[in-house]
Amino acid sequence: MTIGGCSLIELANTYGTPLYVFDDNTIRERCKTFIHEFRSRYPETHVAYASKAFINQKLTSILSEEGMGMDVVSLGEFIAAKQGGMDPGKIHLHGNNKSPEELEYVISNNIGRIIIDNFDEIENLSNIIKSKNCSIKALIRISPGVDPHTHSYISTGILDSKFGFAIETGDAEKAIKKCLEIDGLDLLGIHCHIGSQIFEIEPYNDAMDISVNFAVNMANRYNFKLSEISIGGGFAIAYTQNENPPSVKEYAEIITNALKNACASNNIELPKLIIEPGRAIAGPSGVAIYRVGSIKDIPNIRKYVSVDGGMGDNIRPALYESEYEAVVLNKIDQENTEIVTIAGKYCESGDILIKDINLPHIEKNDLICIPASGAYCIPMSSNYNMNLKPAVILVQDGKSEIIRKRETYDDILSLEVF
């Protein structure tokens, strides 16, 4: 099995395991697809990669080359994006608890947009604008009250959410009014993000309709113009053969048509559209490779196959009950003959990567590859049990390069004082 012209078995033997492998061409193709499908229908579209899915300076350089922007949710992500070559003016800062220090830093480094999330943030921005005698461009994050029918942990557009200002409670209107009263705060529009891994496209239509109608109401009451509108991300990918997410084309059609129709109904100019794909770009671009260690067969109950990684590098199965597929790289041509459970090496009973999967007969030192591992694995990784985070490599046209070194024990002990 090869990716980017490189044998995954050879990569595992060269770089060790656990190992995360990203394909340069897939990353670029996914970027091109989003840009084309949206801009061909709605030319004024800004495509900002959601860096929380996976951020790396080398990845940032690729995104920049492909004409992407980025959204970040912390100062660390902003610094990584900037050092990776992303134009700060194409970076948007999100987050429900931005510190004054974070805000001051990104403003002084010419960030493109700040997505305002709460009233405390409005106050902090007002103080910074006064003390620094500066101006900023911003969007207000609203909660439209739309249920995207996804996992509760990644559903963010409902009323009961830590993110954004709810329309239903009146907070969204209060936030608009407060922002418009601050000299130097250029409020360009609104942002909403209803969730992640959204397989149903209709919630996007509902969210857009609600958002535009709200913006029009605000324009009628205050000196507010909807110049930009962000619908966020949430574009789903297939982790298993049973999943069939909408195509990028289908997402683009529902979102752009919804925006055009809502603006036409309200007789307003078309604003700039912002979308934020993250998982949909990084997820299919990366795979994880593990090596089998111990095997435990409990007759008539379950066969556990333990690998050298687990919840420390991929928390998603434990956190979200996420499901994956897997292949045995060195037995790719062999028939599936047994049901096994792929377990991690961490000291938790819940450290299960894949439960009850049909694979060829597994033996010690076999190499197991889990596709679609490019998003929300490395960024959410930890040193639980003092284990090391994996190396990450990028492949292209038969060549490979390390873009994140494997941690050493010196690395994880370096911050301790003894």
Residue-wise pLDDT for 201-222, tens only, equals 999 999 999 999 999 999 999 9
What is each CA distance from 399 to 2, 7, 22, 24, 396, in whole angstroms? 11, 10, 12, 10, 5
Q: Are 238 and 245 in contact (CB under 8 A)?
A: yes
C-alpha span between 367 and 347 (Å, rounded): 22
How much is the pLDDT for 158? 61
The pLDDT tens digits for 227-255 are 999 999 999 999 999 999 999 999 999 99
41-277 CATH fold? TIM Barrel (3.20.20)
- Of the residues 263, 347, 369, 377, which is catalytic? 347
Element housing 174 (H / E): helix 171-180
The DSSP element (H or E) to which 403 belongs, if any, is strand 399-404
Name residue 297's amino acid: D
Lowest mean pLDDT among 12-21, 158-167, 172-181, 300-309: 158-167
> What are the helix (H) ranges across 40-116?
57-65, 75-83, 100-108
Where do the CATH 2.40.37.10 domains begin and end in the chain? Answer: 286-413
Burial class (CB in 10 A: 0-12, 13-18, 19+), 79: middle
Tokens of 126: 């007002």
Amino acid at 161: S
CATH topology of domain 286-413: Lyase, Ornithine Decarboxylase; Chain A, domain 1 (2.40.37)
Instruction: Name the amino acid, one letter, at 254.
Output: I
Contact 43, 360 (CB under 8 A): no
Q: Answer yes or no: are the C-beta atoms of 139 and 191 closer than 8 Å.
A: yes
What is the structure's pLDDT at 161?
A: 80
Question: Which residues 6+ apart lie within 8 Å of 416 measured at CB?
Answer: none
Please give the DSSP secondary-structure letter assigned to residue 154.
Answer: G
Residue 192 annotated to the active site: no
143-197 per-position pLDDT tens digit: 988 875 544 444 444 677 889 999 989 999 999 999 999 999 999 999 999 888 9
Tell me where in the chain the CATH 3.20.20.10 domain(s) lie: 41-277
Is 315 within 8 Å of 90 (Cβ atoms)?
Answer: no
- Kindly give the pairing relationship between strand 19-23 and strand 391-396: parallel
- Nearest 5°: phi and psi at 16? 85, 170
Residue 71: strand pairing partners: 50, 92
Q: How many CA atoms lie within 13 A of 110 on its CB side?
A: 6
Measure CA 379 to chain center.
9
pTM metric for this prediction: 0.94
Which sign does the torsion angle of CA 242, 12, 373, 48 carry? negative
Between CA 325 and CA 319 the distance in angstroms is 17
Indicate the length of the chain as a whole number.
418
pLDDT tens readout for residues 339-385: 999 999 999 999 999 999 999 999 999 999 999 999 999 999 999 99
Mean pLDDT of 292-316: 97
Give dist(CA 212, CA 198) in Å, integer: 21
Q: To the nearest 10°, report the CA torsion of 283, 287, 293, 299.
A: 60
Average pLDDT, the chain: 95
